[in-house]
Chain A
Amino acid sequence: MEAFTTHTGVGVPLRRSNVDTDQIIPAVYLKRVTRSGFEDGLFAAWRSDEHFILNQEPYKAASVLVAGPDFGTGSSREHAVWALMDYGFRVVVSSRFADIFRGNSGKQGLVAAQCSQSDVELLWKLLESEPGTPVTVDLTDKTVRAKDLVAPFEIDDYTRWRLLEGLDDIALTLRHEAEISGFEGNRQTWLPTTDPLPAV
């Protein structure tokens, strides 16, 4: 995973709440077996409308998405994060994220920056009145900055540390292999396994 310290890019205001992962990427795009090239599925239904904000200049080139509350609800599909990143987004700002989406973002290096709804509203107004305004997201001091606006955001300390260091979760866990083996040795013997049963 690529380390993330600070990012500056065009911000796009998405005035919608409850943006579920079916909207971020419809199921029909989930049939692929590769891990790249999901940008065409991002907001596919909405992007077919020429008036959709991501179809407008200068928002087309945005890399910071500022969305309404309850972003990423619904399906666990990590494809939602891949689609956002493949399109070029590095940060999503919202006042509330769905848990699985937030977790998936942290694994992939997409920053899910949780701001207050009032700061989200201020960002929306700024990005609408001055399209193309660069937005800086600084993970070291946990702020979103645009023009004179400085909005603090929340992100859990462990995810922040991993993102700053660009660390792979699995490698971190495998440092504790001995403890995992120890735990396994003490599991109840009656717990089920998926080993095929003899035919009866």
Chain B
Amino acid sequence: MSRTLAEKVWEAHVVRHGSGAEPDLLYIDLHLLHEVTSPQAFDGLRLANRKLRRPDLTIATEDHNVPTVDIDKPIADPVSRLQVETLRRNCAEFGVRLHPMGDLEQGIVHVVGPQLGLTQPGMTVVCGDSHTSTHGAFGALAFGIGTSEVEHVMATQTLPLRPFKTMAINVDGALKPGVTAKDIILAVIAKIGTGGGQGYVLEYRGEAIANLSMEARMTVCNMSIEAGARAGMIAPDETTFDYIKGRPHAPSGADWDAAVAYWQTLKTDDDAKFDAEVHIDADELTPFVTWGTNPGQGLPLGANIPDPEQIADENERVAAEKALAYMGLEPGTPLRDIHVDTVFLGSCTNGRIEDLRAAADVIKGKHVASGVRMLVVPGSMRVRKQAEEEGLDKVFLDAGAEWRQAGCSMCLGMNPDQLAPGERSASTSNRNFEGRQGKGGRTHLVSPLVAAATAVRGTLSAPADLEN
């Protein structure tokens, strides 16, 4: 029978099929841990006197709480420090490999896994973090789970799950210069809404997706959750294999050949049917930014702030009114006229080396606008090292930006990098929720290119605006 990519990966991991209402039991190939969603799960194991079944399929790093300056000193916030220390104690007790602050492999969990070659096509990957969908860029079935499920995977290396529905996101045509993976996914979310993907695994397909680099594919899959989807996937191809080859945990020799032979079967059969299909024309896309307080409230940069009065659906109208009140914005204002205080370049969405290179290319030889601060936060210490070897740190520092250590940083208000109340940011992260980057903070989601151009002009801008 013809199957989609998601269905193939699912079937290959069924330990037992559920009967009737009972879910399938799915085997998990890789479990990623961080300090925030794991302590109560470790506690649960201890209380029930259970072992962590497969420490050899589990890896941990510190990311959400870590400061991005002075990392050689103890974490100043005692509550954050305790959470990080708790992870260290738990990993030692249960035999889990941990990359702590200062380690070359430390960083955002979704940057670290692929970088080490631990994320491979056809695997099931979970983490107590919704952006686990990132790993789907390799053709893995990867999704975020809650702490109860973290404990469940620790104890059993499985999860009871009912199959997801499948949705094809066909992105045909070619992207114009200056338009990136971030613009694709923001446009997808604006099109299907923050609930449009609920219950689905999205499979991104089409010419524009096939032409994306591995890191750009990760950007797309990363934000699948922002459309409500459990996971996003892209069928593995030569781009995928080239990226994995030679990484520390990649197979080698005869194993490599066997793995590639299997990976090549991981694509949706020609006559397989998706439960839903969406089409996006890549040729039509332009740089995309959000204006509201959920990632679906986005528009092309050339547009104006929408007028809630013109929105027919009552729930959406009320949501737009509340969003504009929170964001301090007036209907009809051109998005390009919006001034920002802070530009954040980083996160599991856009904190990889290609993101830093793209932004550095825009900002090179220019300067951050007066009154604007720009934070550049590599997704991992290895990304930071590589950027420094390429001289990108110099480019950012010369432009007046801050060059930080690795972590989740200003993507979420959990560490010292936060917006002050009323402060406005252009951010390459993934969520523009109220208070996400700090209480009262106002977030516009953008691509690394838009972030860099915005830093130079001080208003939401694309690189092309710098040439005028």
List residues of A whose CB falls within 8 A of some B CB.
15-18, 20, 22-23, 26-28, 30-35, 45, 68-70, 73-79, 81, 96-100, 103-104, 107-108, 156-158, 161, 169-170, 172-174, 176-177, 179-180, 183-184, 187-197
Contacts and interface: CB of A to CB of B under 8 A. Distances in A.
Contacts of B97: 194-196
A145 B302 CA distance: 49
B148 A104 contact: yes
A14 B86 CA distance: 36
Given A31-B83, A96-B195, 8 more contacts: A18-B194, A18-B294, A33-B39, A33-B82, A158-B160, A170-B152, A187-B29, A194-B56
A111 B430 CA distance: 29
Interface string B120-148: 10010000111000000000000011111
Given A16-B322, A20-B433, A169-B148, A194 B413 contact: no
B304 to A, nearest CB: 22
Contact of A188 (B129, B262, B435): B262
B195 A69 contact: yes
B219 interface: no
Given A31-B80, A35-B40, A76-B129, A158 B22 contact: yes
A169 to B, nearest CB: 6
Given A22-B431, A68-B315, A180-B15, A194 B144 contact: no
8 contacts: A34-B40, A74-B226, A100-B130, A173-B160, A176-B15, A179-B25, A184-B27, A191-B29
B1 interface: no
A176 B14 CA distance: 12
A183 B225 CA distance: 29
B118 A192 contact: yes
Given A22-B436, A192-B120, A173 B79 contact: no
A183 B199 CA distance: 26
A137 B269 CA distance: 45
Contacts of A193: 56-57, 249
B218 interface: no
B318 A15 contact: yes
A174 B156 contact: yes
Interface in B179-222: 194-195, 198-199
Interface string B16-28: 1010111101010
B107 to A, nearest CB: 15
Given A26-B435, A74-B431, A173-B156, A107 B40 contact: no
Interface stretch (B170-178, B251-259, B276-284, B377-385): B251-259
Given A73-B195, A76-B144, A78-B147, A22 B435 contact: yes
Given A32-B79, A107-B146, A73 B251 contact: no
A33 B97 CA distance: 20
A180 to B, nearest CB: 6
A17 B317 CA distance: 10
B113 to A, nearest CB: 10
Contacts of B412: 22, 27, 75
Nearest to B119: A192
A27 B410 CA distance: 12
Nearest to A168: B48
A23 B433 contact: yes
B37 interface: yes
Given A173-B158, A189-B255, A197-B249, A78 B435 contact: no
A193 B86 CA distance: 24
B439 A173 contact: no
Q: Which of A28, A69, A161 has the most CB of B within 10 A?
A: A28
Given A77-B37, A194-B59, A170 B156 contact: yes
Given A76-B144, A174-B155, A174-B156, A190 B255 contact: yes
B15 A76 contact: no
Nearest to A158: B21
Contacts of B65: 31
A180 B146 contact: no
B194 A70 contact: yes
Interface in B36-83: 36-37, 39-40, 43, 48, 50, 55-59, 64-65, 77, 79-80, 82-83
B258 A190 contact: yes
Contact of A108 (B129, B148, B155): B148
A179 to B, nearest CB: 5
B56 A100 contact: no
